Amino acid sequence: MTVSTDGSPATAHPHADQFWGTDEQDLLDLLATTRSGLSAAAAAQTLERVGPNRLDTQRDASPWALLARQFLNPIEIILIAATVLSGALGDWTDSAIILVILVLSGLLGFAQERGAGRAMRALLATVEVQSTVIRDGSKVEVPLSAVVPGDIALVRAGDLIPGDCIVLESTALTVDESALTGETFPAEKQPGTVSSDATIPERTNSVFLGTHVSSGEGTLLVVNTGGHTQLASISASLSARPPQTGFEKGMTSFGLLLTRLMVVFVIAIFVINLLLNRTLIDSVLFSLALAVGLTPQLLPAIVSISLAQGARMMARERVIVRRLDAIEDFGSMTVLCSDKTGTMTAGEIVLGSATDLEGADSDEVARWAALNAGLQSGWRNPIDRAILVAHPLPTDAVALDELPYDFQRKRMSLLVTPHPGEQPLLITKGALDSVLAVCATAVTADGTVPLSTVAAGLQERFAELSNGGYRVLGLATRAMPGAMSATAADEAGMTLVGLLTFADPVKADAASTLAELAASGVSVRMITGDNHLVAAHIAREVGLDTTLTLTGREIDAIGDHALAKRVLPVHVFSDLNPVQKERIVRAFRAAGHVVGYLGDGINDAPPLHAADVGITVDSAVPVAKQSAAIVLLDKDLRVLLDGVRQGRRTFANTMKYIFMTTSANFGNMLSMAIASIALPFLPLLAGQILLINLLTDLPATTIATDAVDEPQLKRPQVWNVRLIRNYMFMFGALSTVFDLTTFLLLRLVFHAEAPEFRSAWFLGSILTEVGVLFVLRTRAPFFLSRPSRWVILTSIIVVIVAIGVPYSPVAPLLELVPIPPALLGLIVLITLAYIASTELAKRFFWRAHGR
């Protein structure tokens, strides 16, 4: 970046794209910052100029773009053009009415979608990932989106890298760059300069947005953010869209169904009206108005409203939705892969014992364990915290170097000076098998002996403790006189000195919660890094089937195709690393399941990405929270169960609108198409059709608040376009039968001409559609299911408006006339008969479709 005359960063500097080859001080000068960071005022100015630290695909649509989207439906564009043409030919009154109705419909959708968007942004702010930066010389937490070029950022294990940065300081810093490079193993990072033409893996002094810290800690200078980052340039070069979610696939299939019907309607009705010698412009307007009437115009708004309302209600259950379309997948989830810690267990890990190899408590083993847990610079996990609660960190020890934990070695080593003046000691803690793999000797009551002499006894004790539900770690040491640093090669020839045991009791309600999830159609599978003995013990306590289990080693020996079959009967997976967890999730998806994954650690990011719906908790490491679509404010499966039910409620209410509106619209449009052929005049004018569509959509805007039948909350919900089609044809046909009955009575009994006919049909269309809403909104008898007060209120308002319009001053503009009392009574009777018939047909339909 260049620097403006007032000392603030201005436009992008030519070296900003190759900052890894630029000297540190030059970068600090170019960004008008220091190692003490920016001032809050300078950061605010930079944020205003460069924009939020988000990729373009993450930015919210502007209000103008949202408003324009309401009118960019191709059918509406053609209708508007035809309406303007009609006005140009002299019929400005009708044209103005049609345009006003279209504008009102668009504004309604705009207001609802914008309100839903604001509500969602407020909810997301509660779980936004934070970054630690230095502002005004002090460490502060700011949202990741508020990080700007020139910030000095502090990161540690589990943190997201907040932008493209240069490393100023590092302590055992390794970064997972697989999102950029595809490389599985973390890359080591340290200060310095590299060649300006270095590839990403060669840029050892730089870190990039979209990656995260695997271990260690570092101080970074943020150089580029948002759309100027390496990740943004890679994203822009990719033309392939991400795979569609289940919700998007359903919407696409539904849209294709409506498009086919619309094309047939428009062409057929247009041609028939021309053959009947009706004017070209009237035929065009009528055909297009029917097409608009067939489509659920407010569907995008209704979906946004329903999902946003669902997200708000889920927030009351302490479940935050980060990605709205995940609600559908949440409700349709059939398999939940979850760790046991904090979900099936209390999540309060305590150190049970620190013993020598004979099982006696050992203060020396406890001290070494506390040094290993407390002096490390990386992420302090629950096991480390449990050690330090039981045995506070000694104050006279000094850390010299460390080998961070990783999921291949499954151990962590620290080079320390235990006491002033003593020789350096390498202390290693980790999974017992991985620690034994680097040991040659062991300390016993008889002194230091070859490891082989105690191996059998150790395995027996390990099995006994594990079968009792204890997690067992090994602790080993190695004297390294004069050493100031350590490498992985130094983890060899070590001496096993003791065992650490940890307890995490099962939650009292865990078994009942898992049983409720199973009864709700969600099968829970335990996915854990613990050994198979501990996993099986906990699984039995919570009621999971342990007949078949799989370990990480066994999974590695199975190909992807075979794994999709092997995982189905297995409920307990143990000894897993992140790659193996991801393979399990993908295997369940390949087998046809909708998969949720619940995790909160660094190692959970890959399976969270791979799942249909990634679920984490508010206390998760940033990389897990960023990867997830759902965030639980409490790490509790019961909270998740409540969220699943709310997700199903949201999906069911969205489907109510689709079922009811498409069937009613299809019936009305089919009736008018037939009537337009049989009558010497058009049954309804374009403006009247659009007004019917607008008024009957109003109650639908409140459908998100409606109650849902209990049976629909007990099983996963999925899109079924064939069911929607059958529903639309059956109830649309029933609507058409009553419409045509009304048509015959109006012409043969009441001898109604065009104005009176249109007025009666206008009112009848609205009354029947509003009335049948109360029948079709539930699969139970309508009088046993109470709708929400908002559905009732808006329906009453619509009915009052519909009855009043033909008698109001606007009636002449709409070419409507007052309806005689006898005719009004007939419409009410037909409406009641239609409601009763629909109730009977509903019972037949759902019985035939097994619901």
Active-site positions read 339
Type of residue found at 602? I
Which residue from 192, 98, 209, 79 is spatially nearest to 151, judged by alpha carbons? 209
User: Are the C-beta atoms of 450 and 380 separated by less than 8 Å?
Assistant: no
Distance of alpha carbon 94 from the chain centroid? 46
CA atoms within 13 A on the CB side of 41: 3
Residue 305 in tokens: 């409203």
**389, 395, 396, 398: CA torsion to nearest 10:** 80
CA distance 366 to 429: 12
CA distance 193 to 257: 59
User: Are the C-beta atoms of 285 and 689 separated by less than 8 Å?
Assistant: no
User: Per residue, what are the HEC states of 219-268?
Assistant: EEEEEECHHHCHHHHHHHHCCCCCCCCHHHHHHHHHHHHHHHHHHHHHHH
Which residue from 691, 674, 690 is spatially nearest to 682, judged by alpha carbons? 674
φ/ψ (deg, to 5) at 321 = -95, 120
- 281-320 per-residue burial string, b: 16 or more CB within 10 A, e: under 16: bbbbbbbbbbbbbbbbbbbbbbbbbbbbbbbbbbbebebb
Which residue from 46, 105, 47 is spatially nearest to 75, judged by alpha carbons? 105
CA distance 88 to 335: 60
Fill in the DSSP letter of residue 31: T
Phi-psi region of 660 (alpha: psi -120 to 50; beta: other; left: phi over 0): alpha
Residue 298 in tokens: 């407010």
Type of residue found at 267? I
φ/ψ (deg, to 5) at 280 = -60, -50
| β partners of residue 211 | none
φ/ψ (deg, to 5) at 199 = -80, 170
User: Are the C-beta atoms of 24 and 168 separated by less than 8 Å?
Assistant: yes
CA distance 212 to 378: 13
φ/ψ (deg, to 5) at 809 = -65, -20
Residue 769 in tokens: 């559609």
Instruction: Name residue, tokens 């039948």.
Output: 709
Rounded (5°) CA angle 605-19-130? 35
CA distance 112 to 680: 40
User: Are the C-beta atoms of 717 and 652 separated by less than 8 Å?
Assistant: yes
Its sign, for the CA torsion 490, 492, 493, 499, is positive
Extended strands (E) in 454-558: 471-479, 494-503, 523-527, 549-551
Packed helices 532-542 and 455-467: angle between N→C axes, nearest 10 degrees? 20
